[in-house]
Structure 1
């Protein structure tokens, strides 16, 4: 597998065994360069490990192979995967020899299709992430809506209780004098009212927070719709470009055929012209001989 920089902040590599193309985007060009260097280092290390394992297999005999199968000499899965990867690297360099014989539009079509597919994968990944966030926010919104309804009911009950307590305090003040028992009961009722007011204030703050979460969920939904529209536009544009590319290839083939036909016609005309010139030369020689004889 060979890592290729397709732009200043994006690179990709292909796995021919899995028939898959992988791509990575980076925040800066320096990070992309560092990743490419590390990719090449691990690729070279895998190749050296492959060569060493082959040399060890050739030098060791059957008893040494049995001793090598002990638990202490087992290779790690990473090394075996890297060795398998080097086999693919040794095979893939032969493929560009066949691709060089293709026409020029075909060479330009391959990077273009890779870039468009990488853009589509990028938008699809963002869309999937937004769908997950949207599902979580929707669940939180439903739970928050149920909680809001419950809190509203509790708030109504608290308000009714507060009004009842206020009426009770008023009745107690009207019915009896300001005795010590009534004062303590009034203080207690006032404390209860304050606690209820604090609880009401906390519920209102929680309600405001839930409203903000609902607004953010709506924004995420809008972003999801926007990304979906962009993805559709990108796919339609990709299809249009593919149609244009195929049209250009057909035009190129037809122009090459016309050029070949024109060249063949010119060759036939040249041959005919050579024969006519030869005949005129013979006719001139004959006329010259006739003039000399006369």
Structure 2
């Protein structure tokens, strides 16, 4: 619904609110405003709203850069005004005695439709984003069309202002082209070009002051030169302001990037929490496996006893072997004695009986040795089985530990990736 609101100056927003602006494209026509003419009735007519609608007004949260903060409790009037003094168009909305929107439209501003009944635009100088919620999609469409129309008028006004500066100030086409394309340069080159222009102006001013044009009267030449110098200084000042506002836009972009990175960091934090839970589960599993391994080690004390038994049997076997070798040596010694005492039959009979006794003992020792070897083999077989079981459990534990390590490396790599992005 279209409504006709009172003058925006009558609403009390003249000079109390900071004027907003876009990027540097509108600075070519930001020269000195036209002086106010007292008694000019057309001024009051130009301050009447050219379009009015009802909408809920929101502003972006300066801290989160994501949430919307309501600027009005209910739908309020949102109007387009034309400021005849500054030759600009504004969007103004007042809730009671408080001006909640005072945004100057620039040629590069864009109104974005984000949902069926909601739209927004960014005001770089005010360092905020305004949002409007309309009662219907038709009202939103009308507002967007009016926004585009006013933005086109602003662009045409900027071009007209440039042409007037070219005609009145004697600015040549080369300087105008340099002014229009200056926004494509870097900051340092922009500042150096401004300093060069100011230096050239000073040199020309000195040359006119010292020599001047002998063909024209002195007063006319001085007035023309001062006017030309004034226009050049305005152009240099406008270019400097353009660079400053371009930096403001870059600052806003950095803030938006910071907000996106904050969101990504929050998502990464939530993922890290999930990974921590998974890591805790793996740690519990690791503790359980360690306890099981300790139980196996405790259960393997029988294996230690078997090992002790094997050692005893081995020692006994070595002792039997030593006795066997001793008996063998004794048999050899006795055999030598038999050879020496063959002449003595009685002694020979006794020695033969002794040999038979020693051979019987030797056979008995051989049987004991075989039995000890069998027991030793059985003990070794049992010990090997227990060793294989322990190795199997160690392999399971090693696999779990490797899995935990890979999970840890994955978490660290993900955190580094999220931090770098």
TM range (shorter): 0.3 to 0.5
Q: TM-score, normalised by structure 1?
A: 0.35
Structure with the greater relative contact order (CA < 8 A, sep ≥ 6): 1 or 2? Answer: 1
Higher strand share: 2
Which of 1 and 2 has greater Rg? 2
